Amino acid sequence: MPKIDYAGVPRTGEALPKKNRRAVAARLARYYMMYKWRVAAAFALMLGSNLFALLGPWLSGKAIDAIDSPAGVDFAAVGYYCLLMAVFYVVSAGLSYLLSVLMVKLSQRIVKTMRQDVFDKILALPVGDIDRVAAGDLINRISYDISTVNASLSNDVLQAATGIVTVIGALVGMIAVSPPLLGVFAVTIPISLLITVLRGKTMRPLFRKRSAKLAELNGFSEEMLSGLNTIRAYGREEEITAKFRVKNTEAADAYYKADYIASLIGPSVNFVNNFGTVLISAAGAFFYLYGKIGLGAISSFLLYARRFSGPVNEFANIIREIQSALAAAERVFRLLDRPSEAADAPGAKVLSDVKGKVEFKNVRFGYEEGEDVIGDLSFTAEPGQTVAIVGPTGAGKTTLVNLMMRFYDPRGGSILLDGEDIRGYTRKSLRAAFTMVLQDTWLFEGTVFENIAYGKEGATRGEVKRAAEEAHIADFIEGLPDGYDTVLTDGGSLSKGQKQLLTIARAMLSPAKLLILDEATSNVDTRTELLIRDAMARLMKGRTCFVIAHRLTTVRSADLILVVKGGDIVERGRHEELLQREGFYSEIYEAQFE
């Protein structure tokens, strides 16, 4: 089945349509409202910090007026205003610090909740959806996208809110100080706003392209590094290096162009702001000469004008970052909105006292509509029987197992367990009736004991040791530095065969009556395979076993061999019977042992 990008989820670097921004922002706001008291405290701290800071220019003007007094310098007034100004700035800085700490904690709580929601959703998704996701796409949702949202929640939203309060407060201050000077300052405001708007329009596609190129470079690097041994084995280092050089150059060029244009816009905005300062100073001097305004008012107005211009200049950057965060949040939300695995049927029973009889009745299934992988398949596995499923790659062998465990449901026909349709059981209890050993071993970061004990809830030390002995891995474990308490990190330095033996030991602990062996000995050498045959026989005893294998030496003793080709069973029987028929099975057997 082809790997495709997650349906409906835009790639990293794609634009977020305007119509979606409000919906995504509203949904993020609901996460904020989960911590409404902290949000209220953050708003109060932000408001207080800005108001105290905005009183500074007014007090500065008062201090200058006290110096420029016709009666001479009023040192007491100057000292009073300067002390008050210092106190206000200290209080503003303190509130700003508390606000930053609170916002970091608040954003982390929101991101923690969001990340948990995403992880829980992934576990609840249908296996079919998981199979259709491009490699690393889900990890990108949990890591990169949520990290982008986190950065915006802790920084950009705060800057935007602070900027709005600062702009409004500075505007009020300028109006209060000198409406005529505000008229002069208004000449440069439209120019600043125009540059800001044009800056946003110019920079947005450049930064979007930069993000996309970086994502391509990261994806290529991850893919190549995961296959490094294969690349070296085929001597393709130079070829891969050349491809990396191209993608690296594209990413560097995208970064350069975005940063270059940004560096050109900055001086333009600064020029306009400085020109505005010149106009205000000139007009202020003119009004001062005619007694229309004092030096303190001019000073206060200039300080307020600077405070007004700062957030306006940064507005384009902040909006761009927030838009990037909204796009990342939309990708997360679209994943969260994917339908979970279908609920159990009303009245579904908890499977218990499993006997182990499995029946396929006219089962038909396809991953894509109109493209059947399995067509009209029927067979019966009696309790305790070993059923081997053999056939060429892509014949549908693993699909049979996925259907039995209800990772997928058939499009036609039915699958019965102990005489009842498996759709009448809860999925959790049905899957608990199976244990498996797969070709692709999975070991998690934890001790050897924890990895083996994963096969049975509440397994004791003694049970784990007995399972390890039956799997012929006990001697190896006891030779490790900390024995069963040795911590494995992604399998550590274990060989493939050793990892496989650990998963076999894990399966031996499970009380499940149904056993699936999917190429379970493919990573085990001949000597190890001989050592575990008797252990596998004990493992299979009393269980209904389904063995998927390419190596026909592992299926000779099976009670029933199903030869699958093109999604249909073309032959069935025991090993000797199938050889005598000289059919497809016989062809496979002879091809392996010629």
At residue 511 the predicted structure's pLDDT band, cuts being 50, 70 and 90, is confident
pLDDT at 11: 47
pLDDT at 593: 67
Phi, psi of 383 (to 5 degrees): -55, 135
- What pLDDT digit, counting tens, does each position of 286-296 carry? 888 877 888 88
- What pLDDT digit, counting tens, does each position of 245-258 carry? 998 999 899 888 87
At residue 90 the predicted structure's pLDDT band, cuts being 50, 70 and 90, is very high
The pairing of strands 560-565 and 386-390 is parallel
CA distances from 252 to 209, 211, 216, 303 (A): 11, 11, 12, 40
* Arithmetic mean of pLDDT, 522-530: 62
- What pLDDT digit, counting tens, does each position of 18-53 carry? 667 778 888 888 888 888 898 889 889 999 998 898
pLDDT at 525: 62
Cβ-contact 461, 468 below 8 angstroms: no
Record the tokens describing residue 141, joined without a space.
């949702």
Number of helices (H), then strands (E), belonging to the chain: the values are: 21, 12
pLDDT at 56: 86
Cβ-contact 467, 431 below 8 angstroms: no
Instruction: Give the least confident one: 120-134, 474-488, 524-538.
Output: 524-538
Sheet holding 560-565, edge to edge: 434-437, 514-518, 544-548, 386-390, 560-565, 568-573
Higher model confidence: residue 76 or residue 201? Answer: 76
At residue 98 the predicted structure's pLDDT band, cuts being 50, 70 and 90, is very high
Q: How many residues does the chain have?
A: 594
Phi, psi of 551 (to 5 degrees): -80, 110
* Arithmetic mean of pLDDT, 134-144: 69
At residue 1 the predicted structure's pLDDT band, cuts being 50, 70 and 90, is very low
- Does pLDDT of 320 surpass 80? no
- Does pLDDT of 490 surpass 70? no
Mean predicted lDDT score pLDDT of the chain: 80
At residue 83 the predicted structure's pLDDT band, cuts being 50, 70 and 90, is very high
